[in-house]
Amino acid sequence: MTTGASEPLLALSNVNTFYGQAQVHFDLSITVARGHIVCLLGGNASGKSTTMKIILGLVKPRSGNVTFDGASLIGLTTPQIVRRGIASVPEARRLFADMSVRENILMGAFVRNDREAVAQDLDKMLTLFPKLGQRLSQRAGSLSGGEQQMVAMARALMSRPRMIVMDEPTMGLSPLYVDRVLELIRAINQEGVSVFMVEQNASLALEIAHEAYVLQTGKIVLSGPARALKDDPRVRDAYLGGSEAA
């Protein structure tokens, strides 16, 4: 479901990021087209999660630009970026453990002021994630990992975002829940929400993504349509750090 605009929804261009002296990103450029699912693949310490933090304004790049819907996000605070229409499903879900499931989901609508519509959206979440209905007044911290992932996704959707960024949404989940999460990401996307996800599990991510980028020690070593990358042996090589040999 593309809107027809040729301009990408999100674009990182020539981003260089440092933690102290150590450079994490080298001229990183990534684009997410409107209505697409884009995944960023890579092994440990490749700079994937930092890419997420750059988009959300939690880490500032030293140089380069990040634009969302044509406007630069550089210099904006995280809350300001969220108000522009980007929601996140953080790594390891990061629910508010001592708040109830209902409160967690409603926290997702923190930037909204239309109370009635928020209440309707909460009902909508319960049809999308029927299991959460019985859990609404439970402490979020008491749910299983898979259920927590559902809450995190519902929470992200509550802001009616134009794009959701997800950090390893399948991490630590049982195989049953992994399939369910992937299905949901596809469903969310079909509602018109663009998705940028960071994943270690390349074969799963490539199942649902439109495009993919492979990150290795801060550099994009491979990118293209997900279908094409699926059987590309270089993807696996990138994980094993043997790209020079390949």
Partner 1 sequence: MSSWLDYTINGLIVGNVYALVAVGLALIFGVSRLINFAQGSIYLVGAYIGWVAVVQLHTPLPLTIIVVAAAAAIVGLIIERFGLRPLQNSVRIAPLLATIGISFVLDQLVMLTFSPNPRALPSQLPDVRFQVGGGTIGPLDLLIAGVGLTSALLLFVFLRYSKLGWAVRAASQDRDAAMQMGVDVNRVNQAVFGIAAALGGVSGMLVGMYYNQIDTAMSLQATLKGVVAEVVGGAGNVPGAVIGSLLLGLVESYGVAVFGTSYRNLFAFLLLVVVLVLRPNGLFASARQAPPEPLTGTFIAPSRPVRIPWWALAVAAAGFAVLPLFPVSFYVLQTLINAWLLGMLALSLTLVAGTMGQVSLGHAALLAIGAYTSALLSLTLNVPVGLAVIGGGLMSAALGTLLISPSFRLRGHYVSIATLAIGEIVSLVILNWESVTRGPIGISGIPPLSVFGYDLISPTSIYWFSFAVMVVLALLQGRLLTSHLGRSFRAIRDDDIAARAYGLSLNRYKSLAFIFGGFAAGISGGIAAHLYSYINHETFNTQQSILALTVVILGGLGNVVGAMLGAVALVGLPEVFRIAAEYRILIYGIVLLLLVRFRPQGLLGTM
Give me the residues that bind partner 1 (CB under 8 A), please. Answer: 56, 58, 77-79, 82-83, 87-88, 90, 94-99, 103, 106-108, 110-111, 141, 155, 159
Instruction: List CB contacts of 10: < 8 A, sequence separation 6 or more.
Output: 30, 31, 32, 55, 66, 67, 68, 86, 163, 194, 196
Q: Which residue lies nearer to partner 1 by CB, 60 or 124?
A: 60
Q: Kindly state the smallest distance separating residue 101's Cβ from partner 1, in Å.
A: 14
Contact 161, 86 (CB under 8 A): yes
Q: Which residue lies nearer to partner 1 by CB, 150 or 202?
A: 150
Q: Kindly state the smallest distance separating residue 82's Cβ from partner 1, in Å.
A: 4
Q: Kindly state the smallest distance separating residue 158's Cβ from partner 1, in Å.
A: 9
Q: Which residue lies nearer to partner 1 by CB, 55 or 235?
A: 55
Q: Kindly state the smallest distance separating residue 79's Cβ from partner 1, in Å.
A: 5
**How far apart, in whole angstroms, are the C-alpha atoms of residue 107 and residue 84?**
17
Output the six-digit token pair for 17: 């990021």
Q: Kindly state the smallest distance separating residue 236's Cβ from partner 1, in Å.
A: 32
Q: Which residue lies nearer to partner 1 by CB, 163 or 214?
A: 163
Q: Which residue lies nearer to partner 1 by CB, 6 or 21?
A: 21
Q: Kindly state the smallest distance separating residue 226's Cβ from partner 1, in Å.
A: 26
Q: What single string gives the DSSP state of each residue in 129-180?
A: SGGGGGGTTSBGGGS-HHHHHHHHHHHHHTT--SEEEEE-TTTT--HHHHHH
Q: What single string gives the DSSP state of each residue in 169-233?
A: TTTT--HHHHHHHHHHHHHHHHTT-EEEEEES-HHHHHHH-SEEEEEETTEEEEEEEHHHHHT-H
Q: Which residue lies nearer to partner 1 by CB, 82 or 222?
A: 82
Q: How far is CA 42 from CA 48, 91, 217, in A?
A: 7, 15, 9
Q: Kindly state the smallest distance separating residue 53's Cβ from partner 1, in Å.
A: 9
Q: Which residue lies nearer to partner 1 by CB, 165 or 229?
A: 165
With b meaning 16 or more CB within 10 Å and e meaning fewer, what string describes 25-55?
A: beebebbbbbbbbbbbbbbeebbbbbbbbbb
Name residue 139's amino acid: R
